[in-house]
Structure 1
Amino acid sequence: MNWLRKVPGSKRSATGLEWAIWRKLPLIFALGTALPLVGLAALHWQVDASTPAGERWLQMADYMVFGLVLFHWTAVVTVGIGCVIVMVMKGPAYAADSYKVSHSDRPRTADAPRE
């Protein structure tokens, strides 16, 4: 059983910015993850954690970097989903099984009774 069939004569739209972004997403994901973590590692290397203030400051930096990385991952996934949606929408047209609409050839007016 063929659920979706291509509409005869439908054509794909020209590719655009979505493919350029889609190809760069792995690099953006890796850099956006690695750079904050490298900065955090350098911070841990330089800051003296033997005092309570230094330890508290490093823990706050850990939380902030974790939030930044998590936000970045969410943004990359969201942009990726947007790219996939645009790619699908630019593809050929598909039609599912149609069904008859009772008022398609004579639209109902506001004061007309329902059938």
Structure 2
Amino acid sequence: MGWFNKLPGFVRSAPGWEHRVWRRLPAVGWWGTVLPLLIAAGLHLMAPDRPADAPLDPTLLHWDYLLFGVVVLHWTLVLTLAIACFIVRVMKGPAYVADAYPLPKRPGE
């Protein structure tokens, strides 16, 4: 006996919005990571030169932390969307039948 017995006569649901979102998630994740990094690189290139012994520019450091937070937030949103799409795709997949489990008889029956 196999582990997965498909339900006979089950009709699979057509893919919907979850399929389109699932396919775009890698590109969305990549662009959402690269764009803030490019912005940070641009800010560092446009910042005025400072002597080697000078302290870090607090405004530039603030932007670095802000853009790092944007990247981490973006990753969590993409991961949440990926989990939701995965769940919908699994639920739309083929149906399986579990093994029969005979219930025990009640006393007096």
Task: Report the TM-score range of the alignment, normalised by the length of the smaller protein.
Answer: 0.7 to 0.9
Matched AA of 1:21: V
Contact 1:49 1:58 (8 Å CA) reproduced: no
Task: Specify the alignment match of 1:12 in structure 2.
Answer: 12
In structure 2, how many angstroms separate the alpha carbons of the residues matched to 1:101 and 1:62? Answer: 62
Offset at residue 4 of structure 1 (A): 2.1
1:1-115 aligned within 5 A: 1-48=1-48, 50=50, 52=55, 55-101=57-103
Residue 3 (structure 1) shift: 2.0
Deviations 1:58-99 (A, max 9, x none): 111111111111111111111111111111101111122232
Give me the whole-angstrom Cα distance separating, in 1, the residues matched to 2:31 and 2:86.
Answer: 22
The structural deviation recorded for 1:101 is: 4.5
Kindly report the root-mean-square deviation, in angstroms, between the aligned alpha carbons of the 2 structures.
Answer: 1.9
Q: Which amino acid aligns with 1:41?
A: A
Quick check: 54-63 or 79-88, which moved more?
54-63
Structure 1's consecutive aligned runs of 4 or more residues displaced over 4 angstroms after TM superposition are none
Letter in 1 for 2:5: R
Find the aligned partners of 1:84 and 1:61 in 2 and give their Cα distance: 34
Distance 1:3 1:61, change over 3 A: same
- 8 Å CA contact 1:11, 1:91 repeated in 2: no
Measured in 1, the distance between the counterparts of 2:91 and 2:37 equals 37
Q: Give 5+ residue unaligned stretches, structure 1.
A: 104-115
TM-score normalised by L of structure 1? 0.78
User: What count of residue pairs does the alignment treat as equivalent?
Assistant: 102
